[in-house]
Amino acid sequence: MSEKIATREAYGKALVELGASNDKIVVLDADLAGATMTKFFKAAYPDRFFDCGIAECNMMDVAAGLSTMGLIPFCSTFAMFGAGRAYEQIRNSIAYPRFNVKICCSHAGVSVGEDGGSHQSIEDIGLMRMIPGMTVIVPADGNEARKATFALAQMEGPAYLRTARLASPVFEQDYPFEIGKANVLREGKDAAVFACGLMVSETLEAAELLAAEGIHISVINVHTIKPIDAACVTKYAQKCGNVVTVEEHSVIGGLGDAVADVLMGKVNCKFRKIGINDCFGQSGKAKDVLREYGLTADQIAAKKASPGKRRGMPFSVKQMHQSRTA
């Protein structure tokens, strides 16, 4: 995993490819084309690009209308302004009538960095996940972001795609992508770790650190939060008996809760969530902010700090292994 590319950039370039093969693809942005990377589509197909200005709510309603004309609108803005500010329009104008609109939001999570807590959306997965009929996808790398963009164009109905500002490693192995099907990236017996987005590469690195200590974990990339791959979640929870979820999102409403919903009352296992623990983000260098919230590889692998200092959940994979074998 030497090459790095931001998933927002891969998304923007994928739109250009889509535009060449499908003239029904149209792209809308809210005065952020240079940041969301829809600038590539704008340059290639200016007649199919609509800059709606700083008016995200209006943009969603415009996209809803375009979809009724047989077009496939891709709406782009920051996650805070898309999933947050325009929530009511997404719910009532797009999801309620099940219009074929794709909401693709970048700059999600605390890795937005210097923009600070006001711009670091840590609630967007939960907000979108609770809307009936909404598909929610969080790609782990550039290749997956490209494949997810193509998959969204082919599926019918509303969908939410979450991309990141920070460049992240591109996996050397070319994994398949299918909406609703998780990818098992590493096999291990001591714990099943389910991750999404930027946290997949961090979890893979954590797995290497743990393997050096004789702890072997399964790493599962849950790129589709909804509909979640319940069969995969159940299988690996039963296999390992220890379940950990890792996400750059609040531990409330996101991947952790989606996995818990599958397992509750069905599988007897230990369960821990690692993520943003009911607090807002803050400004700083992206890597520093990720470390502040316990979302780096060594922190995922290592024991957590004493109570009161934890940003994530109480126990790490290592502690769970130790408690299991003690």
End-to-end CA distance of the chain: 35
Amino acid at 322: Q
* Residues 152 and 129 placed together within one structural domain of the fold: yes
CA angle 221, 222, 226 (to 5 degrees): 170
3-state helix, strand, coil in the chain (%, to 5): 40, 20, 40
The answer to the question of residue 174 being in a domain is no
140 and 248 housed in the same domain:
no
Q: Return left, alpha or beta for 235; rule: phi > 0 is left, psi -120 to 50 is alpha, else beta.
A: alpha
Q: Are 26 and 41 in contact (CB under 8 A)?
A: no
- 114 as an active site residue: the answer is no
Q: Domain ends where: 145, 169, 193?
A: 169
What is the extent of the structural domain holding 20?
4-169
pLDDT in tens, 131-140: 999 999 999 9
At residue 302 the predicted structure's pLDDT band, cuts being 50, 70 and 90, is: confident
Average pLDDT over residues 151-169: 97
3-state secondary structure of 210: helix
Lowest mean pLDDT among 12-21, 178-187, 306-315: 306-315
Mean pLDDT of 63-74: 98
Contact in structure between 189 and 216 (CB atoms under 8 Å) = yes
Residue 305 has a pLDDT of 28
Give SS3 for 1.
coil
Residue 307 has pLDDT above 50, yes or no: no
Dist CA 20 CA 177 (whole Å): 21
CATH classification of the domain holding 144: 3.40.50.970
In angstroms, rounded to a whole number, what is the distance separating the alpha carbons of residues 56 and 59?
5
Give the span between the Cα atoms of 310 and 313, in whole angstroms.
Answer: 7
Residue 318 lies in a domain: yes
Mean pLDDT of 37-59: 98
> Of 3, 17, 56, 213, which is the active-site residue?
56
Residue 298 lies in a domain: yes
Shared-domain flag, residues 153 and 19:
yes
**Which tens digit of pLDDT belongs to each residue from 1-39?**
668 999 999 999 999 999 999 999 999 999 999 999 999
Mean pLDDT across the stretch 225-239? 98
Binned at pLDDT 50, 70 and 90, residue 326 comes out as: very low
- Measured at the alpha carbon of residue 137, what is the angle toward residues 133 and 139, in degrees to the nearest 5? 175
pLDDT in the model for residue 173? 87
Q: Is residue 214 part of a domain?
A: yes
Whether residue 177 lies inside any domain: the answer is: no
For position 303, what pLDDT does the model report? 44
Q: Strand 72-78's sheet: what is its strand order?
A: 49-51, 25-29, 72-78, 102-106, 159-162, 135-137, 224-226
Q: Are 36 and 5 in contact (CB under 8 A)?
A: no
What is the count of structural domains for the chain? 2
CATH classification at residue 197: 3.40.50.920
For the residues 277-285, what does the mean pLDDT come to?
Answer: 95
Both 162 and 240 in one domain: the answer is no
Residue 322 has pLDDT above 70, yes or no: no
Residues 161 and 80 in one domain: yes
Residues 164, 124 share a domain: yes
